[in-house]
Structure 1
Amino acid sequence: MTITRFAPSPTGYIHVGNLRTALMNYLIARKAGGQFILRLDDTDPERSKQEYADAIQQDLEWLGLTWDRLEKQSDRLERYEAAAQELRDMGRFYEAFETPTELDLKRKKQLNMGKPPVYDRAALNLSEDEKAKLRAERGNGVWRFKLDHERIEWTDGILGDLSIDAASVSDPVLIRGDGQFLYTLASVCDDVDYGVTHVVRGSDHVTNTATQIQIIRALGGTVPEFAHHSLLTGSQGEALSKRLGTLALRDLREAGVQPAALLSLMARLGSSQPVELVGSLDELAEGFDINSFGSAPTKFDADDLYPLTARYLGGLTVADVGAELDALGVPADEAEAFWTVARENITTLKDLGAWWELCQSGADPLVADEDADFIAEAMTLLPDGPYDASSWGDWTSAVKAATGRKGKGLFMPLRKAVTGMERGPDMSALMPLLKVIRAKG
């Protein structure tokens, strides 16, 4: 069975970069009829917050990304300790005591000598007495996994065949001095125990994947199929990392972005397939192909979400937006006509309020100086409401006969005077909804 996972840390709100990872893993599982696991990487007790854990689940539910299992790393600390002891017993785990300053000096010395700045494994030469003395002086050390110095090779689902020389990588720290288990060990244990078959994550994890492959094999697990997607950049190719805080899913939701728009864009962005508005997650899953994604940095522009949102809204029925219309106070007998007019002229549902305000209270006339006399005369020919589907045609015909104006010179000034806008819906459909036309006086 295909099993994937999305593993956010509940230390903040998830953003579009997180969503890309979540969605790819979700679609792979759903396309194969497999399982999608939501795993909260909450081993950091100081930074992990329940409010963020709740928010992650709320954001995924808003998008329809349902999970088959919810797991928390904080519930599995005994399992991680058992794995650590297993690594110690096989001679693949050792304690090291260097301070950050000492490590930095070592790296600089290696770079000056033209060598890769990797940990020199000096801790392996410490005697038990020396370790005891260092613990007494500095406290507990960190625990490093001893890599086999060989080439680590795998075929990546996006990047193709990869090969990393383990000798060019420092032995990874898996347990901090304060006893906190780090992501690398905890994630490996979880992937092994849960039978995860496919892991999709950002390309910044490639080196991490190499070390994890060795840890998985040391613990007797089966190595999943890995794929590393490109990282998102801004629309001009700039780093997006500093802006991700403004691209949280809940902020996009508040701005009126619809789930279908966000999912449709993120499921295709960076792939060879065109972005198309897709109506359901099942349809997205059916057409999803991880191999169609490229390795180049992927440009993301939040503005691209709004045309997709507008297109999605244009396909909704009045029943789909009943709650929003009720909230505005749109009467049931006017809802169908109002939605038919409004849906083709809004970008998000937030725009509905302005259109209902126009219908109820009218708009400030937009009248050019050269059209002032024309509008004044035209308004004397406009009868009092209520208006119907023939009102616009009857009125413009009367104005044309009285003034001789026609075409754009006739219709545009009248539209601007009535709606305060240069563009908008078919005026024959809008007029019956207008309770007030301010230009009439």
Structure 2
Amino acid sequence: MEPLSRRNAPATALEGAEPVRTRLGVSPNHASFRVGVLRTHLLTALAAHAAAARTGATAQVRVRWDDTDPSRTDRRHEPDLLTELADVAQIPVTDADLRQSHGAPRYRQALAHLQESGVIRDEGGTACLDIAAADHVLKRRGQDPEGATTHAAVNTRVQLQPAQARVRLLRSDGRALWHLASVVDDLHQHTTLIVRGSDKTNATAIQVRLFQLLDAARLPAFLFLPRLRDTDHAPSRVAALIEAGIRPSALRWYLAEPFLAPTPGAGPQTFTQLAARLRDPLPAGSDARFDQQRLAALDRKLSGALHNSIARDELRRAGATAHPRVLDWVVDHYRRPLPHQRRLCALLDEGTHAYEPPPPRAAEAVRWLERRLRGEAEAPPPPDLAWVLTGETNLPGLGPGVDRLPDELLKARLIAARQALSRASAASMR
């Protein structure tokens, strides 16, 4: 590798017209992300796009597959994980081609360069980075590893000297360990921004030395996030939350909320809006546990204020298959969490539904809908209109704007409601 003629500080690595480049290290060991892992990926991408917007540059977010452990790797999971990144987190991924399992030639070349520099020692039959030797080599070159470590960590203080005197770089089978593989991959992808959990702050001193020894054109900036821990019961998976009816927009808001500038009302709804509200620098904060009650409260709040186009897309992705006009009507007039909207779409489907026993004002609701179909001016609909339209009574708030539902649907429901009233009347006379 060519020696450096000039080294920029990490602060300047995120300034100017050069793209802000970051990566998401994804382990394909499950078909769905843990919530805390998705938060790290989301905040990584948001930080890159926010930095690019401030400097007038572009942002590039790449996926790196951490797939060197065959026992924890299943490529069949990769499409599902990419879908969660794209559809739930809305991360605009630039590419997803880098695989650590294909990186052995790069890692061998980097290790050979370190050996030539005289900083590798054999310990128990495996190659280790000798920190004292590394510091000696760097200082002889006029480089300052402790000063570089200080500047590399943007939003927190980190340990300037590694805790261990020697750091293993290879497994016993010769595969590259995390420190070596991550640095070499970041050099390969020209990464300028790395976002990690706060549990990895003390890895910075080791990796900054590797960057300097391997002649990085510039050091990346390092940002650190407090961890979002699982609940005490079980790991919280994104797919399970979405299946339970949590809106992707609400999950994005929940994950990013501690790092956003305050905003009145419902929070930002899209990735772009989140990036525009991201604090600079990201607050370090403290670890927290995943709070499903808080997420559900944000979901209810956002459901009442969500932009129609986002609500419509989320309802379709949730599996609603109603007539387009019915789906649009539900989005416009029934601003409730996704499971309630999905259920209403199913009830308003043009198929035949069983009717519950008629409520007290069912006949009045039938007459109201008959007049509305004739175009007659009318007062607000009676509460029992929900029963006429769906056969069920437990649908509060249903009624306004029913004239925008397809006439064929309204007429079919009138016929079904009249029949249900007749059956109930006949049964009461027996």
CA 7–337 in structure 1, closer or farther in 2 if over 3 Å, else same:
closer
Q: Cα RMSD over matched residues?
A: 3.9
Query: Partner of 1:92 in structure 2?
Result: 119
Any unmatched runs of 5+ in structure 1?
Answer: 98-140, 234-238, 368-374, 397-410
Query: Partner of 1:24 in structure 2?
Result: 43
Instruction: Say whether residues 1:69 and 2:95 are aligned partners.
Output: yes
Query: Partner of 1:361 in structure 2?
Result: 353
Q: CA deviation at 1:263?
A: 2.1
Query: Partner of 1:406 in structure 2?
Result: none
Amino acid at match of 1:49: D
Residue aligned with 1:207, SS? helix
Q: Please give the per-residue CA displacement for 1:136-169, whole angstroms capped at 9, x wherever unaligned.
A: xxxxx3322111397844243332x333433x33
TM-score by length of 1: 0.68
* Percent sequence identity over aligned pairs: 21
Q: CA deviation at 1:44?
A: 2.0
Instruction: Say whether residues 1:8 and 2:26 are aligned partners.
Output: yes
Residue aligned with 1:172, SS? strand
Query: Partner of 1:295 in structure 2?
Result: 285
CA distance in 1, matches of 2:315, 2:286: 43
Instruction: Say whether residues 1:51 and 2:23 are aligned partners.
Output: no
Amino acid at match of 2:107: Y
CA distance in 1, matches of 2:173, 2:328: 63
Structure having the higher Rg:
1
Residue aligned with 2:70, SS? coil
Q: Please give the per-residue CA displacement for 1:89-135, whole angstroms capped at 9, x wherever unaligned.
A: 223222222xxxxxxxxxxxxxxxxxxxxxxxxxxxxxxxxxxxxxx
Any unmatched runs of 5+ in structure 2?
Answer: 1-17, 53-57, 136-144, 425-430
Aligned residue pairs total 363
Conserved 8 A contact 2:228-2:290: yes
Query: Partner of 2:154 in structure 1?
Result: 157
CA 208–23 in structure 1, closer or farther in 2 if over 3 Å, else same:
same
CA 293–360 in structure 1, closer or farther in 2 if over 3 Å, else same:
farther
CA 205–323 in structure 1, closer or farther in 2 if over 3 Å, else same:
closer
Residue aligned with 1:165, SS? coil
Conserved 8 A contact 2:132-2:165: no
CA 58–417 in structure 1, closer or farther in 2 if over 3 Å, else same:
closer
CA distance in 1, matches of 2:215, 2:385: 74
Query: Partner of 2:11 in structure 1?
Result: none
Q: CA deviation at 1:83?
A: 1.1
In structure 1, which of residues 142, 147, 158 is the aligned counterpart of residue 126 of structure 2?
142
Q: Please give the per-residue CA displacement for 1:291-312, whole angstroms capped at 9, x wherever unaligned.
A: 2423212343234153255236
Conserved 8 A contact 2:226-2:285: yes
Q: CA deviation at 1:230?
A: 0.1
Instruction: Say whether residues 1:243 and 2:239 are aligned partners.
Output: no
Q: CA deviation at 1:341?
A: 3.8
CA distance in 1, matches of 2:76, 2:397: 43
CA distance in 1, matches of 2:26, 2:337: 38
Amino acid at match of 1:65: I
CA distance in 1, matches of 2:191, 2:285: 23
Query: Partner of 2:370 in structure 1?
Result: 387
CA distance in 2, matches of 1:326, 1:258: 13
In structure 2, which of residues 219, 236, 246 is the aligned counterpart of residue 223 of structure 1?
219
Amino acid at match of 1:143: A
CA distance in 1, matches of 2:347, 2:273: 33
Instruction: Say whether residues 1:269 and 2:255 are aligned partners.
Output: no
Query: Partner of 1:184 in structure 2?
Result: 179
Q: CA deviation at 1:278?
A: 2.3
CA distance in 2, matches of 1:211, 1:426: 61
Residue aligned with 1:364, SS? coil
CA 91–317 in structure 1, closer or farther in 2 if over 3 Å, else same:
closer
TM-score by length of 2: 0.70
CA distance in 1, matches of 2:91, 2:310: 24
Residue aligned with 1:67, SS? coil
